[in-house]
Each structure stands twice: as C-alpha cells, then as structure tokens.
C-alpha cells in the first residue's frame, strides 16, 4: 500500500517554494580518502553508513558560486559544503561496489551514495536561511575570498578559495584551497543529479537531489594538493583539520554553466 505522502514530504516553510531554478553555477568538488574511523563519529547518531572505496571513506569539500533570478531581485551566492559520502543503512543492498574512478565518471546511477552535510557556510543570509529551513542544512553566514577560473577569465589557472571566520573582528580564516583547474586526465563525466543528505530536527535522514544541466569535468589526482588550515576557532576548522590534515586530494570535479549570450567586439563605421 502506498505511503501517506505527508509522512514523506514535509510541508514547505512559509515564504519558500520549490523547485529553485539556478540562473548560473560555477563549482568545484574536491575528494579526499580517509580511514573509516575518522568519519564514524559524524555518523554515529544517524542511520547513514560511509561509502568505502578500496576500504577508505570519502570526505568531500565543495565550493560553488551561483545566481538566481527572483522577481525583482538577483540572488548571488557563494557557498562551501563539507561532506562525507554516505548512504542510508536501509538501502545497503542497493549500494553498488564501484571504483572511485567509476564514481567520478558518474557510474553511480542508483543515487544511493550522497553527500552528507557537516558544515555549510554561505555569504548570502537568505540562502543560508533557505538551506536551513528547506533542506535542514547546517548553514552559517560568513565571507569568502576567491579567484577561480571561468569563461571570462581564462588566465586564472587555479581555484583559490578562502573561507573566513564568521566573526569578522577575529580576522581569521577556516581554510584555503588552492588547486589546479586543469590536472592531467581531466575528462567529461555525468554526475548529475547529485544526492544530498542532512538530518531533520528529529535526527531522521532528509534526502534531496541537485540537478545540474550539463557535463562535469572530472579527474583522478595522483599528487593532489593539501588544504591550508587557518587559525579560526570555529568548529568547522577543527573538524576539517581532524579529518583532512596532511591528506592529499584524490579526485576533483568542476562544472560551469554554459553561456546563454555574448557581447562581441565593436567596430567603427566609416562615414
């Protein structure tokens, strides 16, 4: 017998509607292999299991900048997500035993493996509020400093992203990521939709997906860069350092929305 939809789909908070349509997205995903023991404390009170690749768990650091058209406004957001790749325990029999290379290529099409949120800093207060109320994301508002490659600045060869402490008076940072935008072996992949997991106020798994309309670029990293940790006292810095201190990145993915229009070079009209 079908389940009552009210038991599956929570009511939308007042003032919000879904789906939310993105006008543009420019994003990077960086993966790190760590021992399962490192991630277990973050999953001990929720019915999720860490996805294992060659016996190791995956921690995912994701930076995105995006825009959205909203009636009389243009929403501009920069956001970071610190995640553990995991799956619901009740779906264990559906989880495919695939390689990390196949995962990066988009081979995990059961969409049981997803990104479980640990921290989600964002620089737009409304986006942080929407993430918390619509998707139970552990958001907080802060600022970023970054220089990233995009179609309008091909001279920028690295993704350089710094996440600042939310208390601006401290003038401290949580982390800095500096990674080559074009590593050897970068190829097209099909990751979308991306499965996401959070916990609701009662501690239950909340699941949702992110659909990106276009191809990703993915690469395995043989000597991936290490993160630089700041001196922030924020819990995210402590969690990241505990999980990733000294750990090289093993894979990355990028996505950029295709342009929808161009302005080209002008010329003089002779009399």
pLDDT digits 0-9 by tens, 72-117:
889 999 999 999 999 999 999 999 999 999 999 999 999 999 999 9
Return the pLDDT at 66.
98
Return the pLDDT at 68.
95
Beta bridge partners of 50: 86
**If we measure between CA atoms, which residue out of 116, 129, 119, 131 comes closest to residue 199?**
116
Q: What is the mean pLDDT of the chain?
A: 95
**If we measure between CA atoms, which residue out of 60, 58, 104 comes closest to residue 82?**
60
**If we measure between CA atoms, which residue out of 64, 66, 78 comes closest to residue 22?**
66
Rg (the chain; Cα; Å): 19
Q: Which tops the pLDDT comparison, 15 or 129?
A: 129
Can you tell me the distance from the alpha carbon of 119 to that of 60, in angstroms, rounded to the nearest whole number? 11
Instruction: Check the CA dihedral 235-237-240-242 and report its sign.
Output: negative
- Is the pLDDT at 2 greater than 80, yes or no? no
Return the pLDDT at 110.
96
Can you tell me the distance from the alpha carbon of 204 to that of 50, in angstroms, rounded to the nearest whole number? 16
pLDDT band of 1, cuts 50, 70, 90: low
Can you tell me the distance from the alpha carbon of 234 to that of 60, in angstroms, rounded to the nearest whole number? 19
Can you tell me the distance from the alpha carbon of 234 to that of 205, in angstroms, rounded to the nearest whole number? 25
pLDDT digits 0-9 by tens, 65-77:
999 998 888 999 9
Cβ atoms of 174 and 121 closer than 8 Å: yes
- Is the pLDDT at 47 greater than 90, yes or no? yes
- Is the pLDDT at 52 greater than 90, yes or no? yes
Instruction: Check the CA dihedral 71-65-102-117 and report its sign.
Output: negative
- pTM here? 0.95
Domain boundaries, the chain: 18-141+185-223+244-256
Cα–Cα separations (whole angstroms), residue 182 to 154, 178, 251, 259 = 11, 12, 12, 20
pLDDT digits 0-9 by tens, 201-259:
999 999 999 999 999 999 999 988 889 999 999 999 999 999 999 999 999 999 999 99
């Amino acid at each position: 017998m079908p389940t009552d939809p009210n038991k599956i789909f929570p009511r939308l908070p007042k003032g919000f509607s879904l789906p939310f349509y993105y006008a543009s997205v420019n994003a990077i995903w960086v993966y790190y292999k760590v021992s399962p023991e490192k991630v277990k404390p973050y999953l001990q009170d929720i019915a999720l299991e860490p996805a294992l690749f060659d016996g190791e768990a995956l921690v995912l650091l994701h930076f995105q900048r995006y825009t959205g058209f909203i009636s009389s406004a243009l929403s501009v957001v920069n956001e970071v997500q610190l995640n553990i790749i995991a799956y619901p325990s009740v779906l264990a029999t559906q989880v495919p035993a695939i390689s990390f290379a196949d995962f990066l290529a988009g081979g995990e099409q059961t969409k049981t493996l997803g990104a479980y949120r640990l921290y989600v800093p964002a620089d737009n207060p409304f986006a942080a509020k929407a993430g918390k109320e619509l998707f139970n994301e552990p958001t907080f508002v802060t600022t970023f400093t970054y220089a990233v490659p995009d179609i309008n600045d091909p001279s920028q060869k690295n993704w350089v992203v710094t996440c600042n402490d939310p208390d601006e008076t401290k003038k401290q940072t949580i982390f800095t990521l500096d990674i080559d935008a074009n590593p050897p072996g970068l190829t097209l992949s099909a990751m979308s939709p991306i499965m996401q997991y959070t916990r609701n106020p009662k501690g239950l798994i909340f699941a949702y997906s992110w659909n990106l309309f276009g191809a990703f670029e993915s690469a395995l990293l043989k000597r991936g860069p290490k993160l630089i940790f700041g001196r922030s006292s924020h819990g995210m810095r402590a969690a990241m350092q505990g999980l990733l201190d000294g750990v090289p990145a093993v894979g990355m993915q990028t996505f950029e929305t295709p342009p929808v229009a161009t302005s080209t070079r002008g010329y003089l009209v002779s009399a």
